[in-house]
Amino acid sequence: MTWVRRLNICIGAARGLMYLHNAIGAQQRVLHRDIKSSNILLDENWNAKISDFGLSKLGPANQEITFLVSVAVGTPGYCDPEYAATGFLTKESDVYSFGVVLFEVLSGRFSFDKYKDSNHRCLVRLARQSYEHNTLDEVIHSTIKDEISSDSLAMFTTIAYQCSMTESKDRPLMTKVVKALEDALQAHVSSIFFSN
């Protein structure tokens, strides 16, 4: 799967999550609570659709802060650590999970796996460390490593890193995530155009 196709899938999923969170004109927004790669379906044209709303909750919309207190649920490896620790569910909990999905797309690895090195069992921890130490080459899937333009990679990894911040107040809104992913796609397409 090419980098452009991966980016388009991420953009489609991000737009779907942005739609659920923004709820323009509505009194409530949808908090999914189980964003993960297997809950992002693709149609015959590779368009992304968010699925499995079985754990979703409705929260008040059009407020600066929307939160619900609930028993933490979700899939290990994707679940927001702040939500798991406090039970405070926010739209930023979905943003964290989406950040994990972005790192999965980049690396081709599962969010949580049985690697021999216990420090690398959790993908988000490995990806964040690689971002912070500027060693992302160790994380990028080999089939796309030589294909990704440096500007596109920088934009993509920066937004994935921001989504996966430990504290919810440091995570971006989905509108910013969508814009960053669209910019990453544009940067990649421009690099191809100018290299020819």
pLDDT in tens, 8-18: 999 999 999 99
pLDDT in tens, 96-139: 999 999 999 999 998 876 555 555 578 999 999 999 999 998 89
Nearest to 49, CA basis, from 37, 67, 57:
37
* Rounded (10°) angle between helices 123-132 and 150-163: 130
Identify any residues that bridge with 58 across adjacent strands, giving them in sequence order: 30
pLDDT in tens, 163-189: 999 999 999 999 999 999 999 999 999
Cα distance between residue 45 and residue 55, in whole Å: 27
Residue with the larger pLDDT of the pair 11 and 90 = 11
Task: Quote the tokens at residue 57.
Answer: 């909750």
Residues classed as catalytic = 34
CATH number for the region 3-195 comes to 1.10.510.10
Residue with the larger pLDDT of the pair 158 and 24 = 158
pTM recorded for the entire structure: 0.90
* Residue 164 CA: distances (Å) to CA of 1, 20, 28, 86: 24, 19, 25, 17
pLDDT in tens, 54-80: 888 887 776 655 666 777 788 888 999
Q: Which residues contact 45 (CB under 8 A, 6 or more apart)?
A: none
Instruction: Decide if 119 contacts 65 (C-beta within 8 A).
Output: no
- DSSP H or E stretch at residue 130: helix 123-132
Task: Give the 3-state secondary structure of residue 76.
Answer: coil
> Which of 18-32, 81-95, 104-118 is predicted least confidently?
104-118
